[in-house]
Structure 1
Amino acid sequence: MTKAQIVGWAHSKFGKSSAPDTETLMAEVVAPALEHAGVGAADIDGIFVGVMNNGFSKQDFQGALVGMAMPELGKTPAVRMENACATGSAALYSALDFIESGRGKIALVVGAEKMSALPTAEVGDILLGASYRSEEAQVTGGFAGLFGQIAQQYFDKYGECSDALAMIASKNHQNGVHNPYAHMQKAFTFEQCNDVSDRNPYVAPPLRRTDCSLVSDGAAAMIVAAPEVAAGLQRAIAFRARTHTNDILALSQRDITQFDGARRAWAASLEAANLGLYDLDLVETHDCFTVAELLEYEAMGLAEPGKGADVIREGITHKDGRLPVNLSGGLKSKGHPIGATGVSMHIMAAMQLAGEAPEGMQASNAQLAGVFNMGGAAVANYMSVLERVK
């Protein structure tokens, strides 16, 4: 089967943007992505947009906004995908399916979200759309409250490990200093992340402010192409494997101290790629909250259940560790504009493989990378193994 390849990308600065809407944010990245890939608007056979929205904006029909942002694309077939925090990966995988089915040769993927224009309480309520509202809508602290419950149940089952969560936060902020696209390019020490204070209060105990990703605006765009097209372009990053798994939405119906859907996605992708975990040179994983990264260590096979804290304590996922995780700073430092996140994560890994990551962030001679993006509390799980072709 023909497998589509990544041939170009563009990424906005994540943070609190002066851009008023997703149309404006998408306009920042579409033309630069085409230029980076070395293709024109007329070459694009399909447009795949990832925007969660769910109330961030009264303007919907977001797929059509790319044609408003760039009129040359106004008559190109476009569709919008939504899959909670994995919305960007849903758009990307749909574009890959489009190419691999033979329906087109080149596709544009755009992920975007404008979150910061609304009060924090409204943002929290919108994000609860990624939960099972009939049971979880009244959780104190919104989506952070759900992950606070996950962390507390994990602590109750395996022992308190707030220090490990603080180590994850500090690691990702140290990495994010080198990422010019990151929302917060600021280093935090372990002590700053571990201590509860006026500047680092509990948000949803046992999670502190430094355990939670940021409310961000931003956009990211990617060009994917059939291999025969990619062969004539400057760069090509292939999907050696990719897997999408799901788990039950309601937290009450599963063991929330384990991300079983994530585990199945990792296992399937590594098997399909014929690789072991340590064959990868780096991983970009979905650290919407620090406890998510810890549970993902266990899901990807770095540790047995209940032993994820040992991974960060032993330095395995640090920049100079055996398997660096979130060299970009992750969602924790880079930010988490929902629809853009999955596209951004794949770009961060592709940059590494192409040798185009920013100075200080670039891994040495990276050839293989894992990308894990999830929607909700590991409900929709997307796992990609990327490798450099040229």
Structure 2
Amino acid sequence: MKPDVFLTGAAMTPFARHDDQSMQDLTQSAALGALRDAGVALDEIDAMYAANVYGGMVLGQVLMRDLGITGPALYNVENACASGATAVHLACQALRLGLYETVLVWGVEQLTKLGGGTIPLQRNDYKTDRYARQGMTLPTVYAMRGMRYLHERNEGPELLAQIAVKNRRHGARNPLAQQRKPVTVEEVLSSRPVAEPLTLLQCCPSLVDGAAAVVLTTKPLADGRPKVRILGSAVQSGHIEAGCDNILDAEITARTARLAYEQAGLGPEDVDVVELHDAFTIAELLYYEALGLARPGEAGDLLRRGETQLGGRVPVNPSGGLLAKGHPLGATGVAQMVEIAWQLQERAEGRQVEGARIGLTQCTGGGIAGVDHAASSVHILGV
């Protein structure tokens, strides 16, 4: 029988612009915070998993050097926006195989050093990537999905704006979120156009720094606060899509979610709280259906009924999500785990989902010409 994997420590920095801190400062703050939270000493760590997208070669070793953790195995993980969640998945696999007993997983990014702008779909290979040749970027991809969604579902742009309103309202309760100002539908729709129908307030901030860390272990736990267990952990890559693909079908996320639900022995109806990849407003609506929170065609109704807001049946992105909390790529998937752990242990002060026992995180990563997404990850946690 494979051992249970527990998440015993969780910490993150504020997601913000950190001009006075280095990536090393951010990482060490989150890592030491998670170790303190778990009551684990540096010499008890058997292995480390470092998630990052733009930091460069052997980044994890560089970031940990000054803490003196230079002996254990350290794995640097890059999987676009799903890097952090992929690192957690790999750590869970190793723990269940008995390779290690206690590991530290962290993600970090310092996007403000890049100077802003859109993130490329993939490497700028204009000879082989027809999307790159056409100037395709992530905002334009999601804008096409948004336009198609509004057309097929006979909806108005106000529906998309309501996602931003909900998540900004949640983010206003989160002291670690980058954007903490509530907005109205009118403000969202009148913000600067990015790619029709998306406006600026419907896109996650691209200038943000931050780090998040968790401690995972298979060791017996002492009595105390509720024990958070990893019930399901799945990562998948996208299929090649021949011919005209359905841009509203988040197939990779639905497939990954099915694997995670099967591992956990649970279904969408059992989930109490969700942190999902709302890089753009339309994404959240598509993922409602891919994760089974709403039946096909009913995501808009789920939102309108208030079921995904705090106080609703299954609150989604109580942290504020990427739209409000921010999206430092390598840190995002780990930060989602931090939020869900806090929710399940009733430590999410100001935004607590009452009675939450089962939580789900979902994070996609990257875009490749002819493929839905490069990667998708889903984790299910429970107490």
TM-score with structure 2 setting the length: 0.91
One-letter amino acid matched to 2:363: N
Change (3 A) 1:147 1:98: same
1:97 equivalent to 2:87? Answer no
Conserved? CA contact 1:249–1:379, under 8 Å: no
- Partner-residue secondary structure (3-state), 1:120: coil
Aligned residues, how many? 374
Residue equivalent to 1:224? 216
Change (3 A) 1:25 1:13: same
Residue equivalent to 1:336? 327
Residue equivalent to 2:356? 366
- Partner-residue secondary structure (3-state), 2:141: helix
Residue equivalent to 1:87? 83
Conserved? CA contact 2:121–2:136, under 8 Å: no
**Cα offset for 1:153?**
2.6
Structure 1 unpaired stretches of 5+: none
Residue equivalent to 1:269? 260
CA deviation profile, 1:306-348 (whole Å, cap 9, x unmatched): 3322221121211121111111111110000000000000110
Aligned-residue identity in percent: 30
- Partner-residue secondary structure (3-state), 1:30: helix
**Cα offset for 1:162?**
1.6
One-letter amino acid matched to 2:78: E
**Cα offset for 1:203?**
0.7
One-letter amino acid matched to 1:363: V
Distance in 1 between residues matched to 2:123 and 2:141, nearest whole Å: 11
One-letter amino acid matched to 1:2: P
Distance in 1 between residues matched to 2:48 and 2:34, nearest whole Å: 13
CA deviation profile, 1:57-110 (whole Å, cap 9, x unmatched): 5x4311212322412x12222110111110001111111112111111100001
- Partner-residue secondary structure (3-state), 1:166: helix
Distance in 1 between residues matched to 2:70 and 2:115, nearest whole Å: 33
Change (3 A) 1:255 1:278: same
Conserved? CA contact 1:84–1:130, under 8 Å: no
1:297 equivalent to 2:288? Answer yes
Residue equivalent to 1:287? 278
One-letter amino acid matched to 2:27: M
Distance in 1 between residues matched to 2:251 and 2:347, nearest whole Å: 34
Moved more, 234-243 or 246-255: 246-255
Residue equivalent to 2:369? none
Residue equivalent to 2:159? 164
CA deviation profile, 1:283-327 (whole Å, cap 9, x unmatched): 111101111001001111233333322221121211121111111
Aligned counterparts, 1:108-147, within 5 A = 108-121=104-117, 124=118, 126-129=119-122, 134-140=129-135, 142-147=137-142
**Cα offset for 1:372?**
1.0
- Partner-residue secondary structure (3-state), 1:297: helix
Distance in 2 between residues matched to 1:113 and 1:373, nearest whole Å: 16
Residue equivalent to 1:43? 44
Residue equivalent to 1:357? 348
One-letter amino acid matched to 2:211: A
Conserved? CA contact 2:45–2:103, under 8 Å: yes
Change (3 A) 1:314 1:235: closer
Distance in 2 between residues matched to 1:116 and 1:8, nearest whole Å: 28
Distance in 2 between residues matched to 1:222 and 1:249, nearest whole Å: 33
Distance in 2 between residues matched to 1:143 and 1:35, nearest whole Å: 38
Change (3 A) 1:34 1:13: same
One-letter amino acid matched to 1:93: H
One-letter amino acid matched to 2:214: M
Instruction: Compute the RMSD of aligned alpha carbons.
Output: 2.2
Structure 2 unpaired stretches of 5+: 367-371
